[in-house]
Structure 1
Amino acid sequence: MTLDQLRPYVSRFLDPFVDGFDRVGMTPDGVSVLAFVMAILAAVAFLLGGRADPVWYVGAAVLVFLNGWLDIVDGALAREQGVDSAGGDLLDHVLDRYADIVVIGGLAAGIGDYFLGFLAVTGVVMTSYLGTQAQAVGLDRVYGGLVGRADRLAIIGIVGFLAYPIAGTYGGLTLPGWLLVFLAVVGHFTALQRFFYSWSALE
């Protein structure tokens, strides 16, 4: 189960965005930075959703989806402009990791549960690390496992939308709190899946 496998099938929906960014002179690196800005704004909205007004969760959800969409567009734009490079790939992945960290940080700060935030962010970062570490030992980049980044962003966005109408606590946690539990458990599980897959491939 990973939406990353669907990327080749959404290419036709990218064309208007790629053409638009190309016309205004936006570079793929610029789109990557813009995606990161969306993540920062999403983190702020998650913080406000937990501390001020739950309606902010809806804005956070929209911004998370924008981050994910722009993360697809930047690669397509690089291919369209013929400037895809190892440097651009590096920048994209670094900004993606920081985006993951700030979004989860915003979620944790909003509900004031930093321990859950720590467990969630380490699970997410380890999932991504194991995906790219496979390349470092001579394998292909690993995108498989229970939940990839595209899945994760989709789930965070959906929960963000639901957190506004579904307020209150359930089993001692709000919906964003349960989201952090999910990210922690599934993140570490997916990281272990990728580790054992890579380990087996090396034998």
Structure 2
Amino acid sequence: MTLDQLRPYVTGVLDPFVEGFDRLGMTPNGVSLLAFGMAVLAALAFLLGGRASPIWFVAAAILVFLNGWLDVIDGALAREQNVASAGGDLLDHVIDRYADIVIIAGLAAGIESYFLGFLAVTGVVMTSYLGTQAQAVGLDRVYGGLIGRADRLVIIGLVGFLAYPFSGTYGGLTLIGWLLVFLAVVGHVTALQRFYYAWIALD
């Protein structure tokens, strides 16, 4: 089970934040764009963490967690304001994919490991693609597999925090390098798991 499947159970925790954004006059699309802004800043912080000072990894981790939290809030806000729509869902998914790409680009650029970045970002994009492609062929959206987006952001954030005190190399790679390896391997495995589930369901 992935953390994405737990979204319906965190409603009570979200309520104060949803009400706060509603009082501020924020729209769900506005929150989605704010979440993307956090992703861009996280990517910049990861870049600086690799090339300037490891302390930036801490800032990057906080920004990644903010991106994930805001990504949960935008849907809840749409339901609160009764403006949930297919268009809003589409925008949310597009922004999430760009956020994923930007964050991984920042990770890869910070340690100048672009091939690992390529492998990681393709795994992440294929995971998300297979999750929604199931809907396109008449199935429910698939959130299963080893990790979903929520799990991925938690792991990236935790490694970001650890990359500050443990800034050396381990087995030839920094923690950020090993994070990219993890995202690449687990991303592609998760994508294949989702493909297998959809294939069997259609059979």
The TM-score bracket by the shorter chain reads: over 0.9
Summarize the alignment of residues 93-104 of structure 1 with structure 2, pairs less than 5 Å apart: 93-104=93-104
- Structure 1: unaligned runs, 5 residues or longer: none
Cα distance in 2 for partners of 1:66, 1:141 equals: 25
Amino acid at match of 1:45: A
Counterpart in the other structure of 1:176: 176
Cα distance in 2 for partners of 1:57, 1:18 equals: 28
- Per-residue CA shift, 1:117-161, capped at 9, x if unaligned? 000000000000000000011111000000000000000000000
Cα distance in 2 for partners of 1:154, 1:11 equals: 19
Counterpart in the other structure of 1:91: 91
Counterpart in the other structure of 1:34: 34
- Per-residue CA shift, 1:2-32, capped at 9, x if unaligned? 1112112211111111011100100000000
Shift of 1:55: 0.3
- Percent identity between matched residues is 83
Cα distance in 1 for partners of 2:114, 2:5 equals: 32
Summarize the alignment of residues 162-173 of structure 1 with structure 2, pairs less than 5 Å apart: 162-173=162-173
Counterpart in the other structure of 1:131: 131
Cα distance in 2 for partners of 1:162, 1:59 equals: 12
Summarize the alignment of residues 79-158 of structure 1 with structure 2, pairs less than 5 Å apart: 79-158=79-158
**TM (normalized to structure 1)?**
0.99
Count of residues paired in the alignment? 203
Amino acid at match of 2:133: Q
Amino acid at match of 2:28: P
Counterpart in the other structure of 2:3: 3
Counterpart in the other structure of 2:18: 18
Cα distance in 2 for partners of 1:142, 1:16 equals: 29
- Per-residue CA shift, 1:76-135, capped at 9, x if unaligned? 000000000000000000000000000000000000000000000000000000000000
- Per-residue CA shift, 1:25-60, capped at 9, x if unaligned? 000000000000000000000000000000000000
Cα distance in 2 for partners of 1:123, 1:4 equals: 17
3-state SS in 2 of match to 1:143: coil
Cα distance in 1 for partners of 2:119, 2:2 equals: 21
Cα distance in 2 for partners of 1:174, 1:155 equals: 15
Cα distance in 2 for partners of 1:55, 1:6 equals: 32
**TM (normalized to structure 2)?**
0.99
Runs of at least 4 residues of structure 1 off by over 6 A?
none
Counterpart in the other structure of 2:63: 63
Amino acid at match of 1:131: G
Amino acid at match of 1:140: D
